[in-house]
Amino acid sequence: MICILLVAGHDTVLQAQLKNDDTGLYGHLTGVPKALLPGVGGKKILDFWWETVNTRQLFTEVYLVTNADKYKHYERWATANDFPVENLVNDGSTTLEDRLGAVADLELAIRSRGLKDDIMVIAGDMLCADQNFDIAQVVRFYRSKPGDLVIYYELEESEKSDSRGIVQVCPDTHRITCFLEKPPEGQTLSRLASVVFYCLQKETLPYLSEFLSKTQEISARTMGKFWEWFINIQEMPVFGMKLPTGFQLIGQVGLSEYAKWLAHYSAKQREPPVKPITCRSFARVGLMGNPSDGFHGKTIAMSISNFWAEVTLLENQTLVLLPHPLNDPTEFGSLQDLYHISRKEGYLGGLRLLQATCKKFYQFCSKQGIALRKQNFTLKYDTNIPRQVGLAGSSAIVSATLKCLMKFYNITDNDLPKPVRANFILNVETDELFITAGLQDRVVQVYEGLVYMDFSKQLMDAKGHGEYIGMNMDSLPPFWLAYLGDPSDSGRIHSNVRQRWLNGETEVIKAMKSFAELTDQARLAIQSKDWAMLAQLMDKNLELRRSIYTDDCLGPGNLKMIQIARQFGSSVKFPGSGGAVIGLCLDPDQMVEMKKAFQEAGCVFCNIIPYDPSRP
């Protein structure tokens, strides 16, 4: 690939104001080309771009196109910065009136140097807010797409779309569906602004000449007008990649604009290291319909504030994942101690979840065309969610980690919408770590609160996700939770039901439809606050589950908890995949006695505290 830096514009407005500056602050810059003006961090604007692209691993050659009026300035800059002087291209123009236009300048460099390779084009007079973005990631994304590439960023609130090229991007394919050069206010809702930063396939280069032959007016020979013609009229495949930073072309702006944006971006660079970011995700209980979330069913689940996972991210020179002293032990009191800890808690702590989430996050952003700045961090986690009792402890750690990464890299809800976020968390566990799981837990941990979920095949096939609806949490009844003090792996309860479902076994197919019907009935019961009906439906959910999984699969510990709950007239069901039970006991006195019975049986018992995200 070859890189071409464009700096041939005539900065007449800025130079006129520099000459007339009476503050004494900018007089020394009179006559200095715009690309050689001070940029962010004190270095010249062009110095930053030359440092960015000066890598033989990415570019075989770098060319710079300038005008005759400022050629000597750039020649002097080239010799001082080890830029090959022979790669300077002089377009011959000396004034704004005889300029060639950006497209003609680019075509001149390609034609005069006989270039027949893919080309990256960058405006060398462009201020960049973030000096740490990874240009190699841009090249990798470009090479993954069957077309050209346009870089864009999200406008800040103070920026107007009518002064920039605005793109509309398909969120699935990342193809640019429309390019609007400086659209009037209200023409588009998009706030995604293109900058002079592109990758062109060698097959695209002849189109530059074709565009010039059709465009006689010099003022229309801009890169924005070219893309408007190439994308909207020619309907050629061009893709978009988002950089998490702002850009400002010095171009024809005045002194006040240049000074404003330089100060704004410089202030961002001087900001202290990012404060520690701490995010929390809560355990969840399935109230109805589980485990049909993995079988195109429907469920209702609720976040509970009794248990949570918390992840903290701190900016750092290197990327460090800190093991948890309890969940990722590396030191033991004795061989016997190691034996007991391994027997009870297994070999897999939370560190693998942090690592898998980071790996998947980078992979997602690369695939989605979101360039991440080169900035490292330390991640650590804590959790009080009981292990192996089916309360979504693993996904809570993944969810909290993802929240931290999104905040650190300024990834918005538009970049990673909530339904896609739930899929992401599931994929971390199933694709990377081979954990048996369904979408329910990840959805409720993303949306939080009390959530109704429809995973019908029609929705999943059409949208890639289900329908997720938050429910009112006012005046919920007193749910309780009990779990085994010495649980086994909760994943074992899934047994061979999935294979039977895939085989089309009538009993399993019918059961999953029944789970969905129970969920719809439970939704109505919750909305009408008919708690007696809800309790009956919870019991039906359990019996339906027992009918297809069998008691042998459920195991003696789970069956014992069911027996205790029913002994005291409480409804009961599994909140997850096993190891814990949830119930609804409407008799306070019986609740007290039931709690004692669970504790005497070696179980942990607690009253559920629902987590309502709408309340502080």
Residues annotated as part of the active site: 441
- Spatial separation of the C-alpha atoms in residues 372 and 76, rounded to whole Å: 34
- Give the start-end residues of each E strand in 317-360: 320-321
Q: How far is CA 237 from CA 45, 163, 198, 367, in A?
A: 31, 25, 13, 17
| CB-based contact 490:555 (threshold 8 Å) | no
Q: Is 579 left (phi over 0), alpha (psi -120 to 50) or beta?
A: left
Tokens of 189: 């809702």
Q: Is 42 left (phi over 0), alpha (psi -120 to 50) or beta?
A: left
Among 280, 434, 419, residue whose Cα is nearest residue 353: 434
Query: Would you say the C-alpha torsion 186, 189, 192, 194 has a positive or negative sign?
Result: negative
- Spatial separation of the C-alpha atoms in residues 234 and 183, rounded to whole Å: 19
SS3 label, residue 550: coil
| CB-based contact 48:57 (threshold 8 Å) | no
- What residues have CB less than 8 Å from 238, skipping those under 6 apart? 147, 148, 149, 150, 175, 176, 179, 227, 230, 231
Number of H helices, E strands in the chain: 20, 21
- Spatial separation of the C-alpha atoms in residues 505 and 497, rounded to whole Å: 9
- Give the start-end residues of each E strand in 421-573: 450-454, 467-471, 479-484, 571-573
- What residues have CB less than 8 Å from 505, skipping those under 6 apart? none
